[in-house]
């Protein structure tokens, strides 16, 4: 309990007034008992007792009235949320991921979350500082401001088709409010409680309280398209028929859904598939070039995952030449590609791509020929490899590996390399000027290191290892395009040759610079992609255009659809962006899971009406002034009635003659034989 105006409590000294009046408004007298009126004594005692009771009751009422007036003026409040509060650094974390686009009773769930977030802003005062953090679009800035700017930020939130990571969003929000010097800090989270959004993160800032509003994700049996592939994962060849494999995920066990395949805006095939199954639809033949389209299923309340976009290149078989002693796994993979008419093996002169083992044949390649280079297993051959790279104008060298094995940490490729184990690799060190301004290295033929630190991310598409070293580098030099792999392609150096990623990765390296663009993979919404080097802008599915630098990744993949890199007004390609598969699962998180993912959660509220009473937990709490005012009015009424009754009893019973109206004290004294202490009265 506290008081907003504690100095007003000094007015409580006024409670002494009725006490003083009660104690000092007395008339001293001497009492003489006359024999003739002794029979009246008992009646008089009862009457005096009643008068004293009325006087005591009036004293208590008047003291209570004064006390209530003082409490009302001092603005008493209870502890806890629901009332005014000291200045607070407040962060609002709003989940705008794909799952919040579900429609309920004609309204998006995101709109419900935004409406409750506005209640937090309504409860803020002018001294609070507010940040608005979007969990589904974490790349958007969170700018501190007052209530007006926070309302504008909430109103501007649009749904994203990306995955929301509330654990990381709350960690970011705590870091923002933790920088403030305001006395109180608090984080409010507004989410649909989708279980996949709660990832466990380090409990940094767990001392900052978090209040969660959860619009329960429910148990909707949502369904969506999990994946689509053509020709078993390899783009079709020109003039040949292929098939599209479309997987349907989610839904009830006995649910059957219609599936349609759109290519260039027209329905090319249709069918039906039970939930959890894969339907295969015929496609093609196609002429050479790029093919774009999408597959869709019958819509449900969550429509964002009912459509999946694709884009792939239709091409002629690529002529490939192999130079050097190819390991058995490379030879077998190339044979599979040739058997499926993906490539044609031949002489170096007519090849579009040269597969060079140990740098063989690099010096004689043409300017339009791409090179895919893999090192020998024997480190003693590194100096020869580095000399061939220098002669071919490729500004990299290989150095001895820096320690033990590693795993793939990040990749710009649409190929799943997460399960590939790297047991041995050589370091790729740039030897010439790079786009990022890195200095030139030492003589590439010597294999000596410029320094011992990891090379860091080079320019171009790369695959980075957990050690910080690049594992795959692709770029273009004045002598022609090239792709470098840091590991020998044998089973002892890496698990790649015996993994499902071997053939797609080898085909990607072959087609990377031949114009095929290989694969029907897509970019996941919320992740970045690198536009072509010639791109000057990227057009989003909504028609917005963002200026880009061809060497930098494009981040704003907010919604699903085709993103079009442009070179001025010329369309370069179309990049399909699709929602993450995890967003299709609407299973809600339990309170235990929420508290485990977000340590320091003080309350989880599912009722919008109770939200305002649950926030600003370090506040002063509600002020019960209405109840106090009602009690005060009641006591004033009772005091008035009691005082009026006392005055009626104290009136004289005479006829109205002034001579017959004596003072109440003297009249009572004569009746009792009482003589006042006044000397004149005694005389």
**In this structure, are 62 and 113 located in the same domain?**
no
* Average pLDDT for 297-312: 92
**In this structure, are 214 and 226 located in the same domain?**
no
**In this structure, are 396 and 290 located in the same domain?**
no
Q: What is the pLDDT of residue 298?
A: 92
Whether the pLDDT of residue 404 is over 80: the answer is no
Q: What is the pLDDT of residue 101?
A: 92
> 570-581 pLDDT, tens per residue?
998 899 999 998
pTM, rounded to two decimals: 0.62
Collect all residues with Cβ–Cβ distance below 8 Å to 211 and sequence separation of at least 6.
186, 187, 188, 189, 601, 602, 603, 605, 614, 615, 617
Q: What is the CATH number of the domain that holds 423?
A: 3.40.50
Q: What is the CATH number of the domain that holds 167?
A: 3.40.50.410
Which among 480, 399, 402 is positioned nearest to 442, based on CA atoms? 399
Least confidently predicted of 33-47, 110-124, 591-605 = 33-47
Q: Cα(156)–Cα(144) distance, rounded to whole angstroms?
A: 15
Q: Cα(539)–Cα(561) distance, rounded to whole angstroms?
A: 11
Q: What is the pLDDT of residue 340?
A: 80
Share of the chain above pLDDT 70, in %: 78
Least confidently predicted of 39-43, 220-224, 633-637 = 39-43
For residue 526, being part of any structural domain is answered with no
**In this structure, are 205 and 291 located in the same domain?**
no
Q: Cα(437)–Cα(26) distance, rounded to whole angstroms?
A: 101
Tell me whether strands 289-297 and 256-263 are parallel, antiparallel or unpaired. Answer: antiparallel
For residue 149, being part of any structural domain is answered with yes
Q: What is the pLDDT of residue 656?
A: 46
Rounded to a whole number of angstroms, the distance between the first and last alpha carbons of the chain is 61
Which among 332, 320, 307 is positioned nearest to 369, based on CA atoms? 320
Q: What is the pLDDT of residue 517?
A: 43
Rg (CA), the chain: 42
Whether the pLDDT of residue 313 is over 70: the answer is yes
Q: Cα(372)–Cα(360) distance, rounded to whole angstroms?
A: 11
Q: Cα(290)–Cα(313) distance, rounded to whole angstroms?
A: 4
Q: What is the pLDDT of residue 624?
A: 77
Domains contained in the chain, number: 4
Whether the pLDDT of residue 677 is over 60: the answer is no
Dihedral of the CA atoms 480, 486, 490, 492 (nearest 10)? 180
Collect all residues with Cβ–Cβ distance below 8 Å to 179 and sequence separation of at least 6.
none
For residue 411, being part of any structural domain is answered with yes
**In this structure, are 372 and 386 located in the same domain?**
yes
Q: What is the pLDDT of residue 29?
A: 55
Domain extent at residue 402 = 318-511
* Average pLDDT for 252-258: 86
Contact 475, 457 (CB under 8 A): no
Q: Cα(230)–Cα(243) distance, rounded to whole angstroms?
A: 6
Q: What is the pLDDT of residue 683?
A: 34
Whether the pLDDT of residue 662 is over 50: the answer is no
* Average pLDDT for 472-489: 89
Q: Cα(440)–Cα(428) distance, rounded to whole angstroms?
A: 13
Mean pLDDT estimate for the chain: 81
């Amino acid at each position: 309990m506290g008081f907003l105006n504690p100095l007003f409590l000094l007015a409580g000294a006024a409670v002494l007034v009725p006490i003083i009046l009660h104690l000092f408004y007395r008339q001293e007298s001497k009492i003489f008992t006359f024999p003739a009126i002794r029979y009246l004594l008992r009646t008089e005692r009862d009457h005096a007792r009643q008068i004293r009771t009325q006087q005591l009751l009036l004293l208590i009422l008047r003291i209570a009235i004064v006390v209530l007036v003082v409490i009302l003026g001092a603005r008493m409040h209870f502890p806890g949320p629901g009332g005014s509060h000291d200045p607070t650094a407040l962060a609002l974390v709003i989940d705008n991921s794909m799952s919040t686009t579900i429609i309920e009773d004609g309204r998006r769930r995101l709109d419900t979350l935004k409406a409750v977030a506005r209640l937090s802003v309504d409860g803020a005062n002018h001294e609070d500082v507010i940040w608005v953090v979007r969990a589904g679009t974490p790349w958007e800035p969170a700018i501190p401001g007052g209530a007006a700017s926070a309302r504008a930020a909430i109103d501007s939130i649009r749904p994203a088709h990306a995955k929301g990571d509330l654990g990381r969003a709350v960690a970011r929000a705590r870091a923002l409010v933790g920088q403030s010097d305001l006395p109180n800090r608090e984080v409010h989270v507004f989410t649909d409680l989708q279980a996949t959004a709660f990832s466990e993160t380090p409990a940094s800032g767990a001392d900052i309280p978090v209040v969660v509003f959860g619009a329960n994700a429910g148990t909707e049996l949502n369904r969506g398209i999990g994946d689509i592939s053509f020709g078993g994962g390899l783009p079709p060849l020109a003039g040949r028929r292929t098939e599209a494999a479309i997987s349907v995920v989610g839904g009830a066990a006995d649910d059957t859904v219609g599936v349609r395949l759109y290519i260039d805006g027209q329905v090319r095939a249709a069918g039906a598939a039970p939930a959890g199954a894969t339907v295969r639809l015929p496609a093609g033949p196609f002429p050479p070039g790029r093919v774009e389209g999408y597959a869709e299923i019958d819509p449900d309340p969550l429509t964002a995952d009912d459509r999946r976009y694709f884009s792939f290149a239709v091409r002629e078989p690529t002529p490939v030449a192999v130079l050097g002693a190819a390991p058995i796994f490379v030879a077998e993979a190339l044979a599979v590609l040739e058997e499926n008419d993906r490539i044609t093996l031949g002489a170096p002169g007519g090849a579009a791509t040269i597969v060079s083992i140990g740098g063989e044949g690099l010096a004689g390649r043409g300017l339009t020929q791409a090179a895919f280079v893999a090192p020998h297993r024997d480190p003693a051959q590194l100096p020869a490899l580095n000399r061939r790279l220098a002669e071919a104008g490729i500004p990299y060298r290989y150095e001895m590996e820096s320690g033990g094995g590693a795993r793939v940490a990040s990749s710009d490729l649409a190929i799943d390399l997460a399960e590939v184990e790297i047991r041995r690799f050589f370091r790729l060190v740039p030897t010439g000027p790079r786009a990022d301004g890195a200095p030139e290295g030492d003589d590439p033929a010597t294999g000596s290191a410029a320094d011992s630190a990891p090379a860091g991310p080079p320019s171009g598409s790369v695959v980075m290892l957990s050690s910080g070293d690049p594992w795959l580098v692709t770029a273009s030099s004045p002598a022609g395009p090239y792709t470098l792999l840091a590991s020998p392609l044998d089973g002892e150096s890496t698990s790649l040759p015996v993994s499902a990623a071997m053939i797609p990765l080898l085909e990607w390296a072959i087609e990377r610079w031949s114009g095929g663009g290989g694969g029907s993979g897509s970019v996941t919404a919320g992740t970045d992609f690198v536009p072509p080097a010639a791109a000057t802008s990227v057009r989003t599915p909504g028609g917005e255009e963002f200026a880009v630098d061809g060497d930098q990744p494009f981040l704003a993949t907010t919604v699903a659809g085709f993103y079009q890199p442009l070179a001025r007004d010329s369309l370069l390609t179309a990049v399909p962006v699709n929602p993450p598969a995890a967003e299709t699962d609407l299973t809600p998180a339990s309170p235990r899971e929420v508290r485990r993912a977000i340590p320091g959660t003080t309350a989880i509220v599912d009722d919008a009406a109770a939200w305002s009473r649950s926030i600003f937990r370090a506040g002063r709490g509600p002020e019960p002034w209405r109840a106090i005012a009602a009690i005060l009015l009641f006591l004033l009424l009772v005091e008035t009635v009691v005082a009026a009754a006392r005055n009626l009893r104290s009136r004289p019973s005479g006829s109205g003659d002034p001579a017959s109206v004596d003072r109440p004290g003297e009249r009572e004294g004569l009746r009792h034989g009482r003589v006042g202490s006044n000397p004149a009265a005694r005389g």
